[in-house]
Structure 1
């Protein structure tokens, strides 16, 4: 019998998707912060955008690995612990 994926695995997978989209958004539209919030925290140097892209990429990797572990745990038969 296979176990169901816990809510934790689904949340981790969703966070991986969201952080991946944030990374792509920042890479393809670096001025989204200025457009959405109306502020320019780094005076157009691009440092904040690069920091957001790097942090989002790292978060995507971490959440993906955590979600993968949860999905793999759910695929193992119950008696094989």
Structure 2
């Protein structure tokens, strides 16, 4: 049960972090240039949209993992 709880919290934190990073990139699209001083996409904004899409996918995946662990914890708790 302790391992499932740990997995749940890790997945939850990663889902929240990826969602926050995606929202940050969506709102403040030049944070990469501001933080690093580099323009990896030449100013086109393509990298920022890839980051938003990747963060959305990661957030959904981590949310699914957290839900699975939550259900597993609840099922084990009921079965006892």
Determine if the TM-score, normalized by the shorter chain, exceeds 0.5.
yes
Aligned pair count reads: 77
TM-score normalised to structure 2 length: 0.89
Shift of 1:73: 1.1
Moved over 3 A (4+): none
Task: Name the structure 1 match of 2:34.
Answer: 35
Shift of 1:37: 0.9
Distance in 1 between residues matched to 2:24 and 2:5, nearest whole Å: 29
- Normalized per residue, which structure has more helix? 2
TM-score normalised to structure 1 length: 0.88
SS at match of 1:6: helix
RMSD: 1.3
Distance in 1 between residues matched to 2:79 and 2:8, nearest whole Å: 17
Task: Name the structure 2 match of 1:72.
Answer: 71
Distance in 2 between residues matched to 1:78 and 1:28, nearest whole Å: 45
